[in-house]
């Protein structure tokens, strides 16, 4: 029996609406390496984020030079020695008078050394930091980490000033996947600004990255949910950080100046 043209049109419309509604989830590639957040878990995380307490600013100015930063944990991804993270006095710090300096002697490019803030979980964070690269730019590769569950599950935004590139990567169960990459145009200044925003719209999560005030890369990914935020370096690297800011993009709390540490 032949179907009438009008009936065929209705069938196609129904199929299209089903695809848009996400009923045919197998048509889209998803990462199942870790259990995705359920709607209930996401709503609970957003509720906790809206209650405040996540407006943070770390300037490292209340510690003595030579100390390990208080309130942070160091994690390692990839083989190689641990990195040396230490607060140091610096008269040129964007927020006087200290900076956070790091030195890593890893010889492999997939060696990440991470330091994350303890006790804070962000679902959709807005994170920024000031970064100073060494005179020899090839000796400094690093950036921000967010959505971190542990040393084998996190998002990373990495700037390589030698190649003038910015990469957005995802590490799930120890497997790294590059989500996006683009060139950057650094300003003629010793300190640079790196910023990420993770947002959501129409049930889609996307990550926007900015370098020196310019939008560089936007990627869509929902593999990881709420997690910790912090800093990272890759390979053999020396870098300086200052003024790490983290705030939730969705909050009903009236804005006030974040506490500095």
The boundaries of the domain holding residue 118 are 39-260
Q: Identify whether residues 115 and 96 lie together within a single domain.
A: yes
Q: Identify whether residues 2 and 125 lie together within a single domain.
A: no
Q: Identify whether residues 110 and 205 lie together within a single domain.
A: yes
Q: Identify whether residues 24 and 81 lie together within a single domain.
A: no
Does residue 166 carry a pLDDT above 90? yes
Query: Per-residue confidence at 48, pLDDT binned at 50, 70, 90?
Result: low
Q: Identify whether residues 192 and 212 lie together within a single domain.
A: yes
Residue spans of beta strands (DSSP E) within 59-190: 72-77, 84-89, 98-105, 112-117, 125-132, 141-150, 153-160, 165-172, 175-183
Q: How wide is the angle at C-alpha 210 spanned by C-alphas 102 and 227, nearest 5°?
A: 65
Least confident residue range of 2-11, 17-26, 89-98, 230-239: 17-26
Q: Which residues contact 199 (CB under 8 A, 6 or more apart)?
A: 124, 205, 206, 207, 208, 249
Q: Identify whether residues 160 and 221 lie together within a single domain.
A: yes
- Looking at residue 71, what is its pLDDT? 96
**Locus of tokens 């990469």:** 167
pLDDT single digits (tens) 168-184: 999 999 999 999 999 99
The total of other beta-carbon atoms located within 10 Å of residue 10's CB is 12
- Looking at residue 244, what is its pLDDT? 97
- Looking at residue 49, what is its pLDDT? 56
Number of domains into which the chain is organized:
2
Percent of the chain having pLDDT more than 70?
75
- Looking at residue 249, what is its pLDDT? 87
Q: Which CATH number covers residue 161?
A: 2.60.120.560
- Looking at residue 110, what is its pLDDT? 86
Q: Identify whether residues 126 and 43 lie together within a single domain.
A: yes
> Region 109-129: what's the mean pLDDT?
95
Q: Identify whether residues 25 and 46 lie together within a single domain.
A: no
Query: Per-residue confidence at 40, pLDDT binned at 50, 70, 90?
Result: low
């Amino acid at each position: 029996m032949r179907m009438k043209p009008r009936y065929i049109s209705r069938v196609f419309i129904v199929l299209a609406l089903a695809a848009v509604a996400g009923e045919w989830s197998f048509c889209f590639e998803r990462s199942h390496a870790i259990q995705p957040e359920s709607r209930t878990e996401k709503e609970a995380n957003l509720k906790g984020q809206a209650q405040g307490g996540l407006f943070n600013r770390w300037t490292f100015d209340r510690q003595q030079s030579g100390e390990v930063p208080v309130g942070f944990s160091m994690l390692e991804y990839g083989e190689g020695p641990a990195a040396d993270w230490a607060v140091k006095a610096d008269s040129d710090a964007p927020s006087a008078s200290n900076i956070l300096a790091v030195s890593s002697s890893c010889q492999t490019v997939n060696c990440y050394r991470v330091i994350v803030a303890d006790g804070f979980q962000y679902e959709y964070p807005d994170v920024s930091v000031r970064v100073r690269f060494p005179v020899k730019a090839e000796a400094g590769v690093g950036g921000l980490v967010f959505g971190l569950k542990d040393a084998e599950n996190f998002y990373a935004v990495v700037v390589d000033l030698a190649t003038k590139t910015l990469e957005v990567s995802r590490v799930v169960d120890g497997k790294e996947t590059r989500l996006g990459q683009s060139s950057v145009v650094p300003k003629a200044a010793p300190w640079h600004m790196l910023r990420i925003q993770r947002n959501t719209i129409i049930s889609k999560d996307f990550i926007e990255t900015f370098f020196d005030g310019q939008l560089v890369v936007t990627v869509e990914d929902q593999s990881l949910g709420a997690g910790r935020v912090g800093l990272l370096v890759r390979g053999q690297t020396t870098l300086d950080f200052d003024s790490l800011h983290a705030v939730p993009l969705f909050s009903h709390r009236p804005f006030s100046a974040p506490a500095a540490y």
